[in-house]
Amino acid sequence: MTRPVHRKKTSRVPNFTPAPHANTPDRWPIVLALFGLGNLVNGAWMLASPAHWYIHLPANVPGTGPLNEHFVRDIGCIFFLLGVLLLVSIRRRELRLAAMVAASAYATAHALVHVFDSMRGLLAPGHWRFDLGPVYVGTLLLVALTWRLAREERPYR
Amino acid sequence: MTRIGALVAGAILFALPFVQSGLGDGHADGGASHMDHAAHHGGSLLMLGNHHLEVVEGMHTLELYVSDAGRRPLRPDAATVVFDGGEQQSLEWSGYRLVARKPAHYEWADYRITLPDGPPLSIRLPARGVTMPG
């Protein structure tokens, strides 16, 4: 006498619970395109002509010290590659979060360097006022956007 | 995210790499960098009016770094140097400095620098280790 085999029902069909943002248009390509372009242009400028970038960047780079072309190109590589990653992630959705996390991590580390240099007096006492918008608020905005992207992308991962 | 929100966020992020790079003190200190009279390149720093001129004497070259009151580098339209009242050379723009070939021996040099705006800057400087009479 054979006993009926009760097989556990399994389904190869994934759970099609609609993502919470599935019905809203995907605006992230706009953000990624502009952010990627900024990084790409800045990086290409640093790699192509460090001296031109050093003199003409509105952020007054000379105020931080003399030009070191090698270091400008080193940092230019970071911006350039971040730009490429961000732009590629427009079409490759699975890379979006990684690209934004990479950019946020770099911006956060950079902001921490500014805090450290302000605390040890390498930057002038009033320097934090100029850092406040571009460095600290800018980094917080980037981290907040990355957080939002992570929440929106969760259903797709 | 709305389209406007995405555009605003994107525009801010577009500018972020540019504004985060550098951020020298010239913007933050309300002009205190004018008081920055440190030689940034290992040479001698001079004031010519509101301009800064740093002269770096190497083994075979003379380098001139011209900057404004806030120590922002300036690119002169032209610059010449006359050694001991005789040999005249044009200083060539290289990177962000002016460079001239240094003669084997000289006592003093007359520099004349023409900036895009303002009168030409002139100064006579002794060679390193030479004391100018008077």
Same domain, B43 and B99: yes
Same domain, B25 and B44: no
Same domain, B26 and B44: no
Please check whether residue A57 touches B, CB under 8 A. yes
Same domain, B82 and B19: no
A93-122 residue pLDDT tens? 999 999 999 999 999 999 999 889 888 877
Same domain, B76 and B124: yes
- Tell me, what DSSP letter sits at residue A127? H
Please tell me which residue, B130 or A150, carries the higher pLDDT value: A150
Find residues 105-124 of chain A whose CB sits inside 8 Å of chain B: 107, 110, 114, 123-124
Same domain, B74 and B117: yes
Task: Work out the minimum CA distance from A142 to partner chain B, whole angstroms.
Answer: 7
A40 in Cβ contact with A84 (< 8 Å): yes
Please check whether residue A70 touches B, CB under 8 A. no
Number of domains making up chain B: 2
Same domain, B124 and B107: yes
ipTM (interface pTM) = 0.74
We report the CATH number of the domain holding residue B64 as 2.60.40.760
Q: Which residues of B touch A31 (CB under 8 A)?
A: 1, 6, 9-10, 13
What number is the average pLDDT over the span A61-83? 87
Q: Which of B23, B25, B73 sits opposite A134 (nearest CB)?
A: B23
**CB atoms B70 and A27 under 8 Å:** no
What number is the average pLDDT over the span B43-58? 86
Same domain, B72 and B92: yes
Same domain, B70 and B17: no
Please tell me which residue, A91 or B36, carries the higher pLDDT value: A91
State if pTM tops 0.80.
Answer: no
DSSP-derived secondary structure for A26-70: --HHHHHHHHHHHHHHHHHHHHH-HHHHHHH-TT-GGGG-S--HH
Please check whether residue A73 touches B, CB under 8 A. no
Please check whether residue A78 touches B, CB under 8 A. no
Closest CA to A32 of B7, B20, B123, B68: B7
Same domain, B106 and B88: yes
A23-63 residue pLDDT tens? 678 899 999 999 999 999 999 999 999 988 888 887 777 76
B9-44 residue pLDDT tens? 999 999 988 887 765 554 434 444 556 777 888 888
| Torsional class of B42: left (φ above 0), alpha (ψ -120 to 50), beta (otherwise) | left
Whole-number pLDDT of residue A4: 62
Same domain, B74 and B115: yes
Whole-number pLDDT of residue B26: 47
Rg, Å, chain A Cα set? 23
Whole-number pLDDT of residue B27: 42
| Residue spans of alpha helices (H) in chain B | 3-20, 25-28
Contacting residues for B1 by C-beta, under 8 A, at least 6 apart: A24, A27, A28, A31, A148, B9
Of all residues in chain B, the percent with pLDDT exceeding 90 is 20
